[in-house]
Amino acid sequence: MSSLVIDDLSIRFGGIKALDGLTLSVEPGQICGLIGPNGAGKTTLFNCVSRVYQPTSGTITWDGSDLLAVPAHGIARHGVSRTFQNLGLFPSMTFLENTMVGAHPYGRTGFVRSILSWGVRQEERRIRREAYELLEFLDLGHLAFEPAAGQPFGTLKRLELARALAARPRLLLLDEPAGGLTHAEVDELAETIRHVRDEKGLSVLLVEHHMGMVMGISDTVVAMNFGKKITEGTPAEVRRHPEVVSAYLGTRA
């Protein structure tokens, strides 16, 4: 089992310090909730871990290796997978095809095997079978051959989760998975994320504004603002912290 260690991470965009010496870690198999107001730097952190952004300074270690030495296209091979704050699906593709897209980095078909089309077909069949199993695991099996376009938002959020899981990650980064969902859908998704973690033994970094969900499923919570950590601890500890109460929740606990 591996852990994610982020140490003294900073990144600047012009005059803005989007991350300012941020330090946090996610223990193996744990769900770490990341909360903070708009512009706190949560998505920027995800973009650094998934290698979309190059931090100005600091380190990111995953599974004992230096993640900053890994190019963005190599991140999935290191067992890291993410979802996006705004859906990143292909509307005209079916649920099965969208899920299979996520499996691509895991495909082992190399140059030599790709010449042998039998190898490709075998690989394709395996990816297709696993994608279908994932859709069933997430109660989306009945939609496998339907296009993503026109489906309810909550359903598409689950599809995005299926696609992230198709890469067989050991670290899952979820950026506001509950955004735009109804109360019932949020509860269902929370249950699903916990189930996924339990069944697949993943570590999860969960960015979410929905307090009930973060506090309900996280093992630890990190609160941040202005690119810095305000506090961390159990959900109960963090929700009591005075700076969290005033800076984020906006009400007295």
Ligand X SMILES: Nc1ncnc2c1ncn2[C@@H]1O[C@H](COP(=O)(O)OP(=O)(O)OP(=O)(O)O)[C@@H](O)[C@H]1O
Tell me if 174 sits within 8 A of 41, measured CB to CB. Answer: no
Name which of Mg ion, ligand X, none residue 38 binds, using a CB cut-off of 5 to 8 Å depending on partner kind: ligand X
User: How many residues can be counted in the chain?
Assistant: 253
What span, in angstroms and rounded, lies between the C-alpha atoms of 42 and 79?
20
Tell me if 41 sits within 8 A of 19, measured CB to CB. Answer: yes
Q: Is 129 exposed, middle or buried (0-12, 13-18, 19+ CB in 10 A)?
A: exposed
Tell me if 160 sits within 8 A of 81, measured CB to CB. Answer: no
CB of 227 to ligand X, least distance (A): 7
Verify binding: residue 40, ligand X, rule CB under 6 A: yes
* Choice between 25 and 85, CB closer to ligand X: 85
Verify binding: residue 43, Mg ion, rule CB under 5 A: yes
Verify binding: residue 47, Mg ion, rule CB under 5 A: no
Beta bridge partners of 16: 13
Token representation of residue 126: 């395996």
Name which of ligand X, Mg ion, none residue 40 binds, using a CB cut-off of 5 to 8 Å depending on partner kind: ligand X
Window contacting Mg ion (CB under 5 A); options: 35-43, 76-84, 191-199, 231-239: 35-43
Verify binding: residue 211, ligand X, rule CB under 6 A: no
* Choice between 42 and 197, CB closer to Mg ion: 42
What span, in angstroms and rounded, lies between the C-alpha atoms of 17 and 120?
46
Verify binding: residue 210, ligand X, rule CB under 6 A: no
Window contacting ligand X (CB under 6 A); options: 39-47, 62-70, 123-131, 163-171: 39-47
Verify binding: residue 36, ligand X, rule CB under 6 A: yes
Q: Which of residues 56-95 bind ligand X (CB under 6 A)?
A: 85
What span, in angstroms and rounded, lies between the C-alpha atoms of 250 and 241?
12
User: Mask 75-114, x = binds Mg ion (CB under 5 A)?
Assistant: ----------x-----------------------------
CA distances from 154 to 150, 193, 247 (A): 12, 14, 29
Q: Which residue is nearest to Mg ion (CB)?
A: 43
β-pairing, 220-225 vs 31-35, is parallel
Name which of Mg ion, ligand X, none residue 50 binds, using a CB cut-off of 5 to 8 Å depending on partner kind: none
Three-state SS for 44?
A: helix
CB of 43 to ligand X, least distance (A): 3
Give the footprint of ligand X on this chain (CB under 6 A): 13, 16, 18, 36, 38-44, 85
Site residues for Mg ion per CB under 5 A: 42-43, 85
